[in-house]
Structure 1
Amino acid sequence: MKPEKVNPREVFYQPSRMVVPLFQRPYVWSKERQWQPLWEDIARLADVLATKNPAATHFLGAFVVQQLPSTLGTMQEWSVIDGQQRLTTLQILLDSLHSQLESRGLAMLAAQVEPLIVNPAAFHKKPEDRYKVWPTNLDRAGFKSVMSAPAPVDYSSVVPSRLAEAHQYFSDSIGAWLDKADELEISAKLLVDAVSGQLEIVSIRLDATEDAQAIFETLNARGEPLSAADLIKNFIFQNHAGTEAEVEVAYLSNWAELESPWWVTQVTAGRTSHPRASWFLWHWLRARRLEDFPIRELFTQFKGYVTDRRPDLSSLLPEIKTAADRYRFVIEGAQAVNGPLTRVQWFSYRVGTLDSEVVRPLLIWLDEEPQSDVPEKDKTQILKYLESWFVRRAIVKAPSQGTNRFMVDLIVHLSRQPHDRLAIEVQSYLASNKTPVGYWPDDTEVASTLKGAPAYNKYLRARLRMILEALEDYRRGYPDWNALGMGPIARGVGTVEHLLPQKWRANWPAIWSPDEAETKAASRDRTLHELGNLTLVTQKLNSKVSNGSWSKKVEHFQHINDVLLTNDVIQSAPTNWDETLITARTTMLAASVLKVWPAPAGHIGLATQPVQPEASGEVDLALLVSEGLIQPGTVLVARPAVLNGATAAVGLDGRVFVDDVGYDTPSAAGVAANSTGLYRGVINGWRFWKIQESGKSLWEVRNEYRASLGEDDRGNEVGEDVQDSEQIEAELVVAESTNEADDE
């Protein structure tokens, strides 16, 4: 390793070619984050050189290259290990400067810059030998187009690319700076000197025998890290056998697709966000290793897998490609709004609304070559069992901590079974588990959970919509029965509508005697958000219809409605809709839920099922996320000062994550954050956590939502909450002062 401080003239003057390996990520620098700050630094440097300090310099960072084998008399080539963004940008900057100088007739100055961007013709054995830096294959067309364009560059005629945008930005900036010059040639020479001679960069050149991969990983462990998928790609192709041409063929055939926009899109699950390719590789590797590990360890685990099992990379890459293609087919199909899906796509859509990516390794494992002899009917049956397990657990709000491990344990169990018994083994494994993390809720628990429950407030809107969609498709004969001619309902776009309006007091006046009015109103409020009062509408109702009388709603639905769930209601109750009918419909829909997602005959879930008392107006964190009042990823801070600003984050499903572990309630997360026992008060999670950005407690956000529904007048519930919160606040103060006294 030979580190030295150099300038661009010393880096680029001698004939040489720095090749960015095809497995490195493409050019990603942008105007706001890199181009503009770099140009502003150069402009300031030129001013300092002219007025204050002719020896001033500006440090740009470092790059690492490794010498490639070459024959006598040929041009030296280097492989860029790190710093390709910086080196490529310098070439774009120098070429923009050269173009501006030529356009202004400054031929002598342009001739000083030209050797820094073009190798002498005598060294050209192939067309790309012209360039000092040869970028990764995804950038080559754009780089070649703009770097070979005649001055002044016509940007409308070059290949559109981020590199062309960078070239135009630097060219425009240089042109504007030169336009302001009092003496053009003097200012131009000053700029040439600043860019080519006074920018400093640390060059680290490795011999061919040094471990470039280890250095690459060390350098990228700091700053803004590469994704796990980027690191895995680099590792694979650094170690892939064959010539450069053979490695490029392997890349183009098996990996290039993983760098397309669909795969590099950031996807959030729980509280973490990664490129989709990294999520896929995490699922794939857990299916391969039959071990659970956090996604943050993905690259380390992949290296261990390759080191321990030494698979042939030329064979492993096509296997990854096959699994990736299947993964994309399932997910893209699940995102389709209309039309029938394959059974696995339907499964993926439904379970995906539950924020349950934990099943992906099992789906990948089922499609691997060793399981190719498993009959499709058995795979379909496995999906049915798993879908029932996931949905029933979501309905009863069974704890989700540990399900990653549970799914991997299931794969391990299945890997030891005969393939003709896999469906039976899945059913048995799920039905026999009697722990909170793995049990399969039985009919009684699911039905009792839905009975009288405020479903509209209890479940994330996407999940509730999925359940209603499934009930509607069940009526239409999808996905596993004889389908009707009307097709399945559109997915993910319908609106959950109350049949009895939320603001019924203003729009549905009731004829009750004074003696019974209070009791009747309370009964109606209790049933308002029940499953039996909800339906799907494919065209959102205007407020006049939504809040109108029952006769208006019936008339509207008779003319504009294609939802069988709604038709069933207006046909069975054409003149009146009340709490008695809502309760009966809740029971009927709950029975349909049990048919859509059945459990084995006679199945019993937990011996002692958890009791979850429900308030009629329950507002949990999942509802606040569903309504957009709290965004997924929102950072929460513990209010007690003794916890030194312990933080948590809100997940997509309303769970609260502390140290990457999700908790179903704010209070449970508060207990976890207080694991040291520093805070001695009672933990009410709604008061315990506040939103970092706004400073509001979760309790305040929840009460603002309640107020927006006109529910401040609900009497005891709000009053008790205020009293409880005041008590907790007092306990916080006492606990904090006590701990402070102890510290002293």
Structure 2
Amino acid sequence: MEAHARKLERIFDSTVTYQIPLFQRPYVWTEDKNWCHLWDDIVDVTNRYLANEKCRSHFLGAVVLERANNATGSIETRQVIDGQQRFTTLQILLIAIRDLCGKYNSSKLYDRFDGLVSNKRSKVDLDEEAYKVWPTNSDRLAFKVVHEISSYDVNQMAQIDEKIKSSQIFKAYQYFTRMLELWFVEYDDIDECLDALWEVVREYLQIVVIDLQSQDEAQVIFETLNARGTQLLPADLIKNFLFRKLEGSEKEVEQLYNEYWLPFDSDFWREEVSQGRTKRPRIDWFLQNYLSLMLQDDIKVSHLFDSFKTYVYDTEDNYDKFDNSFFQHPKNTTEHLIALKQFSKLYQLITQPKDERGALFLYRLEAVGTATVYPLLLLATKLWQSQPNELYQFLSILESYLVRRMVCGMTSKNYNRYFTDVIKEIYRIAKQSQKVISAQDVHTILSKSNSDSSRMPDDIELKANLLERPIYGRIAQYKIRMILEAMDSAAHHNKAEYMPIQRNLTIEHILPEKWEKHWPLTKEGKSAEEILEQEAHRNLLKNTIGNLTLLTHSLNPAISNNSWEIKRPEIVKYSKSNLNRYFQIEAEDSVGEWNEESILERTALLADLFVEVWQAPLAKPRDLNDDKVEDVYLAIDV
């Protein structure tokens, strides 16, 4: 067999049809497991191209092909022995792009993309030869419909059979059409976007094509490729690459393996763990974060092996271009093995901390749901591994940045790029000032941005969000629980014994979500409009943080929708948390009701506790130019 890396455009541009044999399974790829990752990778390359950044060729996987015996003069035909899911998906994506070109009247690009999914009718004898890829029997009808209709033709779409609409092929077409349209919203120039898509397809998307020769047994190869067994990981390719490069005796190579690589072959590193919505072997995540730090770039998991090879060759050939402000980059293969082992230990300290502060940070980070900070965490752990106080201060600052933005409803979409820029800025400061970097320097960096995509909210904005903006229903309950737990810890008084709060408590509304029965509004003397406004205000405030607390699984349902006269004594009687001591104090002060004013007062108190836990940016407060927000802040102070 022969294997060659081919550009996507070259594979589909010639007059050829790729037939998927009847014994292959139907099309089964899905959005969560397959389409979204393919789309994320392709749009990432396209965004880099549009931004005039350096683009790497993106590897889309491999296919195994076998040349079919055709009659002389007929169209070239190949059977897809392995990789049919990938080939079919790529065709559906190209069809979606083609149809988008038609919608925006780009006839030139429409013809180009159509040439990648269709063979000219004048050059084929059989109808199925008009398709670049001809699926297995059960998928052909749906594929023909997708190929021949346009999602932008309302009449055609209305006539499609429901069975076709429920097929994975049609769903894939709808998914890529939808994602393309959403992506286009981010840019003003549609023609530029379409041109960029064409250039990416033409130059930067690659597939390894394995062509079987006549003596190769296609079925045996197919069974081998699809046999049950452990999937080959990027780490396996990296291992093979490094140890093939090593020079020395077999004994010396074995010694290096035992000393530096052996742990990576354990079940621990191959165990699949979640990071965001994706689950991959732990070593994949480590390598991604390690390379992102070393290359100061956002490295995709799908690029790990290619990025690692590039890094190795660059350190061998262009070592002077690497910044060694904080640590020496490896110069040879042995040093790469040493560095991998060293940073893997740091990664374990981050992901499996043995100290209390590190464990608390990880718990809160998992609640925030942001994994793109790990390269920065690797750098910080490397810098301050022998200075725990400095490291803990850094963790507090980073935690403040993430939690403040989460509470204020700010996007985490560009965090991967932003934290890469933070790493670059840390390097720049160290190089320029020739000083030891401190956690306070990182605080300064995180405080500098004025962009909504990356700025750190100040106390004015934060307190305004807590006071008048519902938090329950806006962010996930486990995130709210984490915030309330932090408030409970901050409310601890040094005169009391310390009792850490349980992490399995449930969120309870003091003023119930269904308050109408036991918490009536005073309607006397009010117009219908005033009553509606009062109800709307109460429904808003009931979901703010001042109306929320944490209770046990048994206490919560026992008092849930009851009146204040029933709820407060039960909370005071059974809850031992610092968070609920507030109601005991208020009971002693004989406050006889829980209303909008009470919620606002408690929100102000919790907001003060919030800023104790998660410190503000160093920069001066942002000028919001918003009288309402300023008034809210003044109300809190009062």
TM-score for both structures, normalised by structure 2: 0.55
**1:436 matched to 2:452:** yes
Partner residue in 1 for 2:442 = 426
Partner secondary structure for residue 507 of structure 2: strand
Partner secondary structure for residue 372 of structure 2: helix
Q: 1:320 aligns with which of 340, 346, 371?
A: 340
Residue 524 of structure 2 aligns to which amino acid in structure 1? S
Q: How far 1:540 moved relative to its partner? A: 4.7
Residue 305 of structure 1 aligns to which amino acid in structure 2? Y
**In structure 1, C-alpha distance between the alignment counterparts of 2:496 and 2:332, rounded to whole Å:** 50
Partner residue in 2 for 1:593 = 610
**In structure 2, C-alpha distance between the alignment counterparts of 1:608 and 1:294, rounded to whole Å:** 40
Partner residue in 2 for 1:283 = 289
CA contact (8 A) 1:441 1:606 kept: no
Q: How far 1:224 moved relative to its partner? A: 10
RMSD: 3.8
**1:604 matched to 2:621:** yes
Q: 1:414 aligns with which of 423, 426, 437?
A: 426
CA contact (8 A) 1:330 1:344 kept: yes
Q: 1:301 aligns with which of 282, 295, 307?
A: 307
Partner residue in 1 for 2:481 = 465
**1:233 matched to 2:244:** no
The count of corresponding residues between Structure 1 and Structure 2 is 393
Partner residue in 1 for 2:298 = 292
Q: How far 1:248 moved relative to its partner? A: 4.5
> For the structure 1 residues 331 and 526, does the alpha-carbon distance in structure 2 shift closer, same or farther, using more than 3 Å as the test?
same
Partner residue in 2 for 1:488 = 500
Residue 301 of structure 1 aligns to which amino acid in structure 2? S
**In structure 2, C-alpha distance between the alignment counterparts of 1:467 and 1:415, rounded to whole Å:** 33
CA contact (8 A) 1:447 1:590 kept: yes
> For the structure 1 residues 559 and 248, does the alpha-carbon distance in structure 2 shift closer, same or farther, using more than 3 Å as the test?
farther
Q: How far 1:457 moved relative to its partner? A: 1.0
Partner residue in 1 for 2:469 = 453
Partner residue in 2 for 1:553 = 567
Q: How far 1:521 moved relative to its partner? A: 3.4
Partner residue in 1 for 2:357 = 343
CA contact (8 A) 2:508 2:548 kept: yes
Q: How far 1:456 moved relative to its partner? A: 0.5
Q: How far 1:494 moved relative to its partner? A: 2.4
Partner secondary structure for residue 496 of structure 1: strand
Q: How far 1:362 moved relative to its partner? A: 1.2
**In structure 2, C-alpha distance between the alignment counterparts of 1:395 and 1:591, rounded to whole Å:** 14
Residue 496 of structure 1 aligns to which amino acid in structure 2? I
Partner residue in 1 for 2:114 = none
> For the structure 1 residues 419 and 279, does the alpha-carbon distance in structure 2 shift closer, same or farther, using more than 3 Å as the test?
farther
Q: How far 1:445 moved relative to its partner? A: 1.0
Partner secondary structure for residue 516 of structure 2: helix
- 1:142-201 Cα shifts (integer Å, max 9, x gaps): xxxxxxxxxxxxxxxxxxxxxxxxxxxxxxxxxxxxxxxxxxxxxxxxxxxxxxxx9974
Residue 486 of structure 2 aligns to which amino acid in structure 1? A
CA contact (8 A) 1:290 1:411 kept: yes
Q: How far 1:372 moved relative to its partner? A: 5.5
Residue 237 of structure 1 aligns to which amino acid in structure 2? F
Residue 555 of structure 1 aligns to which amino acid in structure 2? P
- 1:76-116 Cα shifts (integer Å, max 9, x gaps): xxxxxxx9xxxxxxxxxxxxxxxxxxxxxxxxxxxxxxxxx
Partner secondary structure for residue 535 of structure 1: strand
Residue 621 of structure 2 aligns to which amino acid in structure 1? I
**In structure 1, C-alpha distance between the alignment counterparts of 2:628 and 2:409, rounded to whole Å:** 11
Structure 2 counterparts to residues 129-528 of structure 1, below 5 A: 201=220, 226-244=232-250, 246-310=252-316, 311-333=331-353, 341-368=355-382, 371=383, 375-416=387-428, 417=430, 418-476=434-492, 485-491=497-503, 493-509=504-520, 512-513=523-524, 515=526, 518-528=532-542
Greater alpha carbon shift after TM alignment, 325-334 vs 464-473: 325-334
Partner secondary structure for residue 279 of structure 2: strand
**In structure 2, C-alpha distance between the alignment counterparts of 1:440 and 1:465, rounded to whole Å:** 22
**In structure 2, C-alpha distance between the alignment counterparts of 1:526 and 1:354, rounded to whole Å:** 24
Partner residue in 2 for 1:693 = none
**In structure 2, C-alpha distance between the alignment counterparts of 1:540 and 1:266, rounded to whole Å:** 35
Partner secondary structure for residue 420 of structure 1: coil
**In structure 2, C-alpha distance between the alignment counterparts of 1:606 and 1:225, rounded to whole Å:** 54
Partner residue in 2 for 1:617 = none
Partner secondary structure for residue 274 of structure 1: strand
Residue 282 of structure 1 aligns to which amino acid in structure 2? Q
Partner secondary structure for residue 505 of structure 1: coil
- 1:185-243 Cα shifts (integer Å, max 9, x gaps): xxxxxxxxxxxxx997469xxxxxxxxxxxx9xx99xx997333333233333434455
Partner residue in 2 for 1:179 = none
Partner secondary structure for residue 486 of structure 2: helix
Residue 321 of structure 1 aligns to which amino acid in structure 2? K
Q: How far 1:444 moved relative to its partner? A: 1.0
Residue 392 of structure 1 aligns to which amino acid in structure 2? R
Partner secondary structure for residue 393 of structure 2: helix
CA contact (8 A) 1:456 1:531 kept: yes
**In structure 2, C-alpha distance between the alignment counterparts of 1:454 and 1:329, rounded to whole Å:** 36
Partner secondary structure for residue 438 of structure 2: helix
Q: How far 1:590 moved relative to its partner? A: 1.6
Residue 299 of structure 1 aligns to which amino acid in structure 2? F
- 1:603-645 Cα shifts (integer Å, max 9, x gaps): 2247668999xxxxxxxxxxxxxxxxxxxxxxxxxxxxxxxxx
> For the structure 1 residues 230 and 555, does the alpha-carbon distance in structure 2 shift closer, same or farther, using more than 3 Å as the test?
farther
Q: How far 1:441 moved relative to its partner? A: 1.0
Q: How far 1:518 moved relative to its partner? A: 4.8
CA contact (8 A) 1:434 1:606 kept: no
Partner residue in 2 for 1:77 = none
> For the structure 1 residues 373 and 351, does the alpha-carbon distance in structure 2 shift closer, same or farther, using more than 3 Å as the test?
closer
> For the structure 1 residues 593 and 554, does the alpha-carbon distance in structure 2 shift closer, same or farther, using more than 3 Å as the test?
same
> For the structure 1 residues 202 and 270, does the alpha-carbon distance in structure 2 shift closer, same or farther, using more than 3 Å as the test?
closer
Structure (1 or 2) with the larger CA radius of gyration: 1
**In structure 2, C-alpha distance between the alignment counterparts of 1:483 and 1:354, rounded to whole Å:** 32
**In structure 2, C-alpha distance between the alignment counterparts of 1:352 and 1:504, rounded to whole Å:** 33
**In structure 1, C-alpha distance between the alignment counterparts of 2:495 and 2:311, rounded to whole Å:** 46
Q: How far 1:468 moved relative to its partner? A: 0.9
Partner secondary structure for residue 422 of structure 2: helix
**Mind listing any 5+ residue stretches in structure 2 that lack a counterpart?**
4-24, 26-62, 65-81, 83-216, 317-330, 630-638
Percentage of matched positions with identical amino acids: 31
Residue 589 of structure 1 aligns to which amino acid in structure 2? L
Residue 553 of structure 1 aligns to which amino acid in structure 2? K
Q: How far 1:253 moved relative to its partner? A: 4.1
Partner secondary structure for residue 556 of structure 1: helix
Q: How far 1:525 moved relative to its partner? A: 1.6
> For the structure 1 residues 201 and 600, does the alpha-carbon distance in structure 2 shift closer, same or farther, using more than 3 Å as the test?
closer
**In structure 1, C-alpha distance between the alignment counterparts of 2:377 and 2:496, rounded to whole Å:** 29
CA contact (8 A) 1:496 1:536 kept: yes
Residue 364 of structure 1 aligns to which amino acid in structure 2? L
**Mind listing any 5+ residue stretches in structure 1 that lack a counterpart?**
4-32, 34-60, 63-82, 84-197, 204-215, 335-340, 613-744
- 1:235-290 Cα shifts (integer Å, max 9, x gaps): 33343445555545544444444444443343444454322221111111111122
